């Protein structure tokens, strides 16, 4: 496996030098942040990031994310033109050594939580999604700004988007995903990039907006649209794992054996009775997911893709971007290293 760490570029309070000090750290996962979704990434920005990462002894070979503009997901008249821009970004990334590009097809909102700093008994804080807080939110009425959401939308724009997606429905979203994949995957194949779609987080509809990258049946459908390793998954254990209907070790084993996982996001969640969930420390004993079974499934199927520790808690007084501090993600990385070493040795690898 290729161990990686997400870094938000020059404005990230965590230095590349610190990230490099995590044992076995290989790649930086990042993106160009100085353009809006739907714009072409300046080559100088990609080149600059590559140079900074390499100066710090790591590789910049994986991108998260090239965002998919809403117009593509909605299939508006300019979608075609925007897909062309997307293809150009794939080509540009490949030119600078990128091997894997992460993206998602979630309407309007990326990941959804109700609180970013829920304090646990040990004084650490983490991101949570509590249904009793969620039920009180109405994006059509309230002026809500949750993390992971594009805060540049006005309330009016959000309302229009939500109603447009309501009309589009799940099948409409599938249709637009199919159009998108059939255009971008041949380009990715040609330039040697694997596209890794991130599952919807959480993997069920929120506020009545369709969400389709959610469960095994739908992942099968997605992979069949273009049957190529360039059309792969970013299998996020915490996103898929916050629905009880997803058996994560089983899904990891199946898609890894098919060579359709390009990127693994490894993180832990604690599921609650009513479907609420809390993000917790990476260890199996800290939450609902069996991390040993997940890594064992990867090792036994010969997984050779990218892995990153995902959201960490805030610990040791660290402040910063929720989910993306240094300390707990570094603990996650150390744990992931340990699991891989143990599973690989058990396999005689």
The residues annotated as belonging to the active site are 198, 236, 265, 310-311, 324
* Cβ-based nearer residue to ligand DNO, 110 or 318: 110
Neighbour-count burial of 345, counting CB atoms closer than 10 A to its CB (0-12 exposed, 13-18 middle, 19+ buried)? exposed
Q: Under the rule (CB under 6 A), what is the footprint of ligand DNO?
A: 64-65, 102-104, 110-111, 148, 198, 236, 265, 311, 323
How far is residue 174 CA from its own chain's centroid? 19
8 A C-beta contact, residue 153 and residue 145:
no
Q: How far is the CB of 224 from ligand DNO (least distance, A)?
A: 21
345 in helix, strand or coil? helix
d(CA 167, CA 97): 40
The distance of closest approach from Cβ of residue 311 to ligand DNO in the complex, given in angstroms and rounded to an integer, is 6
Nearer to ligand DNO by C-beta: 212 or 343?
A: 212
Residue number, nearest CB to ligand DNO: 65
Residue 85 C-beta: closest distance to ligand DNO, Å: 17
Taking Cα atoms as reference points, which of 135, 139, 68, 72 lies closest to residue 102? 68
Q: How far is the CB of 204 from ligand DNO (least distance, A)?
A: 16
| In the complex, least distance from residue 349 CB atom to ligand DNO, rounded to whole angstroms | 28
Q: How many CB atoms lie within 10 A of CB 94?
A: 17
Nearest CB to ligand DNO, comparing residues 200 and 340: 200
Strand arrangement, sheet containing 125-129: 115-119, 125-129, 277-280, 268-271
Nearer to ligand DNO, 104 or 280 (CB): 104
Query: Closer to ligand DNO at the Cβ: 102 or 270?
Result: 102
Residue with tokens 């293809």: 87
Cis peptide bond upstream of 58, omega within 30: no
Distances (CA, A) of 199 to 150, 325, 330, 344: 18, 22, 23, 27
């Amino acid at each position: 496996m290729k161990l990686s760490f997400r870094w938000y570029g020059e404005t990230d309070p965590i230095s590349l030098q610190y990230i490099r000090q995590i044992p076995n750290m290989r790649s930086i996962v990042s993106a160009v942040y100085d353009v809006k979704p739907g714009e072409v990434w300046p080559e100088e920005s990609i080149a600059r990031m590559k140079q900074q990462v390499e100066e710090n002894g790591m590789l910049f070979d994986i991108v998260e994310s090239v965002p998919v503009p809403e117009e593509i997901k909605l299939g508006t008249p300019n979608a075609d033109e925007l897909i062309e821009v997307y293809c150009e970004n794939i080509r540009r990334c490949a030119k600078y050594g990128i091997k894997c590009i992460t993206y998602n097809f979630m309407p309007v909102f990326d990941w959804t939580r109700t609180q970013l700093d829920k304090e646990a008994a040990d004084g650490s804080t983490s991101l949570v999604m509590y249904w009793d807080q969620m039920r009180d939110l109405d994006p059509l009425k309230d002026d809500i700004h949750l993390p992971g959401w594009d805060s540049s939308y006005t309330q009016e724009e959000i309302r229009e988007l939500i109603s447009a997606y309501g009309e589009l429905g799940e099948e409409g979203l599938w249709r637009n995903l199919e159009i998108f994949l059939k255009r971008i995957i041949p380009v990715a194949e040609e330039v040697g990039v694997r596209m890794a779609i991130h599952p919807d987080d959480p993997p069920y509809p929120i506020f009545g907006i369709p969400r389709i990258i959610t469960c095994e049946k739908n992942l099968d459908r997605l992979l069949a649209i273009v049957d190529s390793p360039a059309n792969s998954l970013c299998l996020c254990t915490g996103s898929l794992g916050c629905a009880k209907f997803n058996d994560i070790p089983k899904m990891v084993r199946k898609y890894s054996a098919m060579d359709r996982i390009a990127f693994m996001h490894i993180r832990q969640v604690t599921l609650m009775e009513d479907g609420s969930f809390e993000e917790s420390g990476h260890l199996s004993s800290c939450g609902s997911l069996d991390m040993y079974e997940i890594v064992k499934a990867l090792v036994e199927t010969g997984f050779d893709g990218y892995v990153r520790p995902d959201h960490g808690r805030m610990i040791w007084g660290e402040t910063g971007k929720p989910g993306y501090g240094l300390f707990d993600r570094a603990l996650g990385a150390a744990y992931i290293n340990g699991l891989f070493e143990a599973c690989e040795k058990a396999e005689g690898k």
